[in-house]
């Protein structure tokens, strides 16, 4: 199907992360004659496949309806926005179901930090993650569904927790806000600094409970930085209730506006230019997004820039 002036963009629900960034993109390119139609439910496991496979927009699921997602436009998805680590894993095929998606191209990388945090309720007997396996504590361990969890569990021997009577609860938090009190120890990669549905977990439980904030070992930190291209973040005192001294933790960074290599060069150029021109609008969105001209064209890993976007970044001097 030929490209039109009304491309479809894979976003997410209006109150999630990718949804507001999709709306920002839609509004930014409108003066250039493009009417971007947002697929608000091209999210979760369909985030990258809808773009990579040029899929038709999917039907609304009950979970989408519960979030208030509008019905998607009909047609094939042209481009999208997703977490930068998800895009990197899809491009390289690292754990991605369809193998390497080498036809994906970066348009713009937006800074957006998610802290990876480990906490324990005070009184649980856990002062550091090593305590759990060493003392064979029968704790209830809550985890999100991020790809980083297996490495963390293996490093501390927590993948054997159930063998001595502990409990592992996967997929904790996120959109399912029920039973957020039912844990002793929590490890999450969604330690964001906002109230959107993916990232309000740490805000909520830090207000409800007295927590011990648990650092990751230097050995695990080095491994995770190399393996998953994570960063080491300095967490300032007072960032969350109970953080009474500076500490470091792991973090993942960035959301990426991206497309396929067959995206018209003129449109890719317009997207890169319009997002730069409208970078100031990021401060009004639902998270502390940040446009950095030194990184907007880099992204995570070695995902190539689309030639149209690269042309704009070279014209501005961002790429030398």
CATH number of 105's domain: 3.40.190.10
Range of the structural domain that residue 172 is part of: 113-252
Q: Rounded to 10 degrees, what is the CA torsion of 51, 55, 57, 63?
A: -80
Q: Are 56 and 225 in contact (CB under 8 A)?
A: no
Distance CA 117, CA 148 (A): 12
Is 312 among the domain residues?
yes
- 3 part of a folded domain: no
Give domain status of residue 96, yes or no.
yes
Task: Establish if 277 belongs to a structural domain.
Answer: yes
What would the pLDDT profile of 105-164 be if each residue is shown by its tens digit? 999 999 999 999 999 999 999 999 999 999 999 999 999 988 999 999 999 999 999 999
Of the residues 252, 276, 295, the one at which a domain ends: 252
Beta bridge partners of 169: 142
Residue 2 lies in a domain: no
Task: State whether 179 and 286 are in the same domain.
Answer: no
232 and 276 both lie in a single domain: no
Coil/strand/helix, residue 95: coil
Q: Do residues 168 and 130 both lie within one domain?
A: yes
Same domain, yes or no, for 226 and 294? no
Chosen domain end from 228, 252, 276 = 252
- Last residue of a domain, which of 252, 270, 297? 252
* Residues 262, 213 within the same domain: no
Nearest to 204 by CA among 227, 177, 236: 177
196 within domain boundaries: yes
Same domain, 67 and 152: no
pTM of the model: 0.93
Does residue 129 sit in the same domain as residue 231?
Answer: yes
Pair (48, 105) in one structural domain = yes
Count of the separate structural domains present in the chain: 2
Question: Is residue 46 in some structural domain?
Answer: yes
Are 127 and 112 in contact, with CB atoms under 8 Å apart?
A: no
Residue 1 lies in a domain: no
Give yes or no: residues 78 and 142 share one domain: no
Say which residue the tokens 């957006």 belong to.
Answer: 112
Whether 118 and 247 map to the same domain: the answer is: yes
Instruction: Please state, in angstroms and rounded to a whole number, the distance separating the CA atoms of residues 233 and 195.
Output: 20
Helices (H) and strands (E) in the chain, counts: 10, 10
How far is residue 12's CA from residue 279's CA, in Å, rounded to a whole number?
20
With beta carbons less than 8 A apart as the criterion, state whether 76 and 1 touch: yes
Please report, to the nearest 10 degrees, the dihedral formed by the alpha carbons of residues 147, 244, 184, 217 taken in order.
50
Reported as type and span, the H/E element at residue 287 is none
Each of the 320 residues of the chain gets a pLDDT tens digit; together they read 577 899 999 998 888 899 999 999 999 999 999 999 999 999 888 899 999 999 999 998 887 787 778 889 999 999 999 999 999 999 999 988 889 999 999 999 999 999 999 999 999 999 999 999 999 999 999 999 889 999 999 999 999 999 999 999 988 866 556 678 889 999 999 887 787 877 888 988 999 999 999 999 999 999 999 999 999 999 999 999 999 999 999 999 999 999 999 999 999 999 999 999 999 999 999 998 999 999 999 999 889 999 999 999 999 999 98
Same domain, yes or no: 177 and 227: yes
Asked whether residue 168 falls in the same domain as residue 136, the answer is yes
Calculate the CA dihedral of residues 274, 280, 281, 284 and round it to 10 degrees: 160
What's the rounded Cα separation, in Å, for the pair 18 and 41? 10
Degrees, nearest 5: CA angle 265-269-274: 150
């Amino acid at each position: 199907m030929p490209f039109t002036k009304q491309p479809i963009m894979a976003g997410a629900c209006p109150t999630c992360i990718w949804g507001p960034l999709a709306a920002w993109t839609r509004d930014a390119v409108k003066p250039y004659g493009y009417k971007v139609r947002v697929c608000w439910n091209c999210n979760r496991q369909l985030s990258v496949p809808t773009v990579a496979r040029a899929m038709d927009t999917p039907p609304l699921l009950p979970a989408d309806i519960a979030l208030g997602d509008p019905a998607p436009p009909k047609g094939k998805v042209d481009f999208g926005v997703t977490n930068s680590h998800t895009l990197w894993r899809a491009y390289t095929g690292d754990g991605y179901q369809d193998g390497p998606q080498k036809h994906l191209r970066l348009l713009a990388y937006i800074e957006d930090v998610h802290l990876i945090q480990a906490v324990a309720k005070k009184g649980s007997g856990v002062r550091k993650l090593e305590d759990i396996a060493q003392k064979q504590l029968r704790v209830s361990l809550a985890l999100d569904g991020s790809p980083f969890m297996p490495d963390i569990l293996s490093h501390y021997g927590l993948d054997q927790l159930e063998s001595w009577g502990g409990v592992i609860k996967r997929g904790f938090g996120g959109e399912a806000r029920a039973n957020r009190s039912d844990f002793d120890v929590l490890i999450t990669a969604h330690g964001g600094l906002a109230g959107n549905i993916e990232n309000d977990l740490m805000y909520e439980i830090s207000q409800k409970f007295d927590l011990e904030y648990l650092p990751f070992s230097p050995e695990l930190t080095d491994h995770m930085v190399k393996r998953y291209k994570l960063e080491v973040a300095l967490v300032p005192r007072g960032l969350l209730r109970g953080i009474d001294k500076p500490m470091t933790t792991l973090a993942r960074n960035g959301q990426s506006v991206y497309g396929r290599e067959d995206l018209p060069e003129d449109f890719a150029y317009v997207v890169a230019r319009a997002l730069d021109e409208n970078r100031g609008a990021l401060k009004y969105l639902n998270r502390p997004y940040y446009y950095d001209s030194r990184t907007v064209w880099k992204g995570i890993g070695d995902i190539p820039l689309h030639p149209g976007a690269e042309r704009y970044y070279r014209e501005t001097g961002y790429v030398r």
